[in-house]
Amino acid sequence: MDFFTAMDVSASAMSAERTRMNLISSNLANAHTTRTAEGGAYRRKDAVFTATPLAGGFRNALERAGGGVRKVAVSGIVEDPNPPRLQYDPKHPDADPQGFVGLPNVNVVEEMADMITATRAYEANVNAAQAAKNMALKTLELGR
């Protein structure tokens, strides 16, 4: 029972990090997009992680037994509230009346750092899942 719980938790983390990677890729790809369907420049998107208790009908029993083990879930995708960067370029087709173009508020360096963090977290969770599998297989040796 316990190892499947652990693998579940690791799997939840892996999909959460993958979502984050998708958003980072989207941010990087649209770092210079000035035109979007919603109007205006592209706005940087970020994922919100929340620690959620393990699901299950017998919530109390599980929490007691699990001792506070929580998995992670992406509870939402928010847009960065920072205003777009303004750049003076009157010839640009998207320039506003003053001649400023609104560029996305994406900081490429920050996105790269986020990407490294997400990769590290993903690898760590892969390791945890492998360790759980390893331990479960080892337990089978008791009966060999």
Partner 1 sequence: MLADKLFGSTLELLGKSIDLRARKHSMISGNLANAETPGYTPSTLDFEAELKHAVQTKKGKGNSTPPHPRHIPLKGQAAELEAVRGRVMEVPAGPAGRDGNGVELEAEMSRMMENQILYNASVQILAKKFEGLKTAIRDGR
Q: Kindly state the helix (H) or strand (E) to which residue 101 belongs, with its residue range.
A: strand 100-103
In angstroms, how far is CA 106 from the centroid of its own chain? 16
Q: With respect to partner 1, which residue has the nearer C-beta, 86 or 121?
A: 121
Shortest gap between Cβ of 67 and partner 1 (angstroms)? 4
Shortest gap between Cβ of 87 and partner 1 (angstroms)? 29
Say what angle helices 108-140 and 2-29 make with each other, to 10 degrees. 160
Q: With respect to partner 1, which residue has the nearer C-beta, 39 or 67?
A: 67
Contacts of 115 by beta carbon, 8 Å cutoff, 6+ apart: 21, 24, 28
What's the length of the chain? 144
Shortest gap between Cβ of 4 and partner 1 (angstroms)? 10
Contacting residues toward partner 1, per CB under 8 A = 2-3, 5-7, 9-10, 12-13, 16-17, 20, 49-51, 66-72, 117-118, 120-121, 124-125, 127-129, 131-132, 134-135, 138-139, 141-142, 144
